[in-house]
Amino acid sequence: MSNDSRREVGIGMIGYKFMGKAHSHAYRDLPFFFDPQVVPRLRVIAGRDDQGVQAAALKMGWQSFETDWRKLLERKDVDVIDIVTPNNTHAEMAMAAAKAGKHIICEKPLAMSLDEAQKMVQAVEEAGVVHMICHNYRFAPAVQLAKQLIESGKLGRIYHIRATYLQDWIMDPSFPLSWRLRKDTTGTGALGDIGAHIIDLARFLIGEFTEVTGMMETFIRERPIGEMNGGLSATSSGNEMGTVDVDDASAFLARFDNGALGVFEATRFAGGNRNGNRFEINGEKGSIRWDLENMNLLRVYFSDDEPGLQGFRTINCTEETHPYAGAYWPSGHIIGYEHTFINLFSEFMNGIAEGRSPNPNFYDGFRNQAVLAAVEQSVRDKSWARVQS
């Protein structure tokens, strides 16, 4: 029984593994916690493996499934195409979806190259569809509060950002060579996969990058060939070995157009760090620190606090006044990883209702890709590289 009179938006999702699960869950929970102007309906999910996609559809609550993603574009009851497939498929799918007049949400990084990203931006602009890229960490309440503090001038002029995204899930040399470790399917390794997230946070909080200089390393060059399962596990298909041609770890220095300096590190070889997305920002009047693994907490330091009582203090960003937090539970009742997606999708739904593309959108994806491309360029040239604007 449904008395919901809000306009429904039909979702067609391509892909169904880790991010497929995160997105499906977000669509389902969204109308429960938020009051979006339009409500998502899980119409159809696509995947190449007939049994896999059927099982996923059943488990995650999709009305139907297809093994050919192009079928989704033909369906009148599908308004949105959600792309959660390997990076080398994003451009083709997004451009076809735009041509079919569908709104689009795409996983990060947007594309395999800056050129591809530019074509994707052009396609959505020409089609006039609503578009977003799924940089979900912007939508943690503590990150939103950090943004408010910076914008209100509480930190004064910003001098530094140092951001790390540290993981360790491929440290075992027997971890298979799957799409996330192959240049032809992923573009770059740690840089584009997790570095893209901290680049997005830096663009959101600090501003545009102007130049970068970096280094990249592949520590384990041969691995057994295999495929990703759901989550971050993979299975090898036999004894055949293949060459890893993307970075296991990347680090770079950056300058921003407002004069701030940045230090960034993205690695899948930081043992003990399962999903260590962290940053510290220092300004003339204060500093802030955030750590995804304690994502509701924002550590703040203000230099005008009383002498003798100065130091970092901790704000638990679960109050009703904190962005998005009021949609969930009473103060002190924490939220988690999955809620960053729900928050993002609430913006996407309202964007669809109002015919505008909320940030981060394909244009943000393009700007992010420009930073990734400049880091790669700087590594090739062993010098500083300008970030294309």
Contact residues for ligand SOE, defined by CB under 6 A? 18, 167, 193-194, 197, 232, 275
Tell me whether strands 286-291 and 131-133 are parallel, antiparallel or unpaired.
Answer: unpaired
Q: At 187, is the secondary structure helix, strand, or coil? A: coil
| Residue 57 beta carbon to ligand SOE: minimum distance, rounded to whole angstroms | 22
Please say which residue, 132 or 300, places its beta carbon nearer to ligand SOE. Answer: 132
Contact between 106 and 90 (Cβ < 8 Å):
yes
Amino acid occupying residue 65:
F
Q: What are phi and psi of 151, to 5 degrees?
A: -65, -30
| Cis amide bond preceding 31, omega within 30 | no
| Residue 15 beta carbon to ligand SOE: minimum distance, rounded to whole angstroms | 12
Q: Give the integer Cα–Cα distance in Å for 73 and 58.
A: 21
Please say which residue, 169 or 384, places its beta carbon nearer to ligand SOE. Answer: 169
Residue nearest to ligand SOE (CB): 193
Place of tokens 């959660």: 84
Please say which residue, 79 or 200, places its beta carbon nearer to ligand SOE. Answer: 200
Lookup: tokens for 31: 């109308």
Q: Distances from the Cα of 332 to the Cαs of 141, 143, 314, in angstroms?
A: 13, 17, 13
Please say which residue, 100 or 232, places its beta carbon nearer to ligand SOE. Answer: 232
Q: Give the integer Cα–Cα distance in Å for 78 and 389.
A: 34
| Residue 85 beta carbon to ligand SOE: minimum distance, rounded to whole angstroms | 12
Lookup: tokens for 233: 């596990």
| DSSP label at residue 379 | H
| DSSP label at residue 194 | I
| Residue 141 beta carbon to ligand SOE: minimum distance, rounded to whole angstroms | 17
Please say which residue, 87 or 282, places its beta carbon nearer to ligand SOE. Answer: 87
| Residue 97 beta carbon to ligand SOE: minimum distance, rounded to whole angstroms | 21
Amino acid occupying residue 245:
D
| Residue 106 beta carbon to ligand SOE: minimum distance, rounded to whole angstroms | 12
Give the helix/strand (H/E) hosting 126: helix 114-127
| Residue 7 beta carbon to ligand SOE: minimum distance, rounded to whole angstroms | 30
Please say which residue, 167 or 236, places its beta carbon nearer to ligand SOE. Answer: 167
Place of tokens 């394909």: 362
Q: How buried is residue 248: exposed, middle or buried, by Cβ count under 10 Å (0-12/13-18/19+)? A: buried
| Residue 283 beta carbon to ligand SOE: minimum distance, rounded to whole angstroms | 27
Please say which residue, 107 or 280, places its beta carbon nearer to ligand SOE. Answer: 107
Please say which residue, 164 or 167, places its beta carbon nearer to ligand SOE. Answer: 167
Contact between 87 and 187 (Cβ < 8 Å):
yes
How far the first Cα of the chain sits from its last, in Å, is 51
| Residue 193 beta carbon to ligand SOE: minimum distance, rounded to whole angstroms | 5
Q: How buried is residue 183: exposed, middle or buried, by Cβ count under 10 Å (0-12/13-18/19+)? A: middle
Please say which residue, 103 or 197, places its beta carbon nearer to ligand SOE. Answer: 197
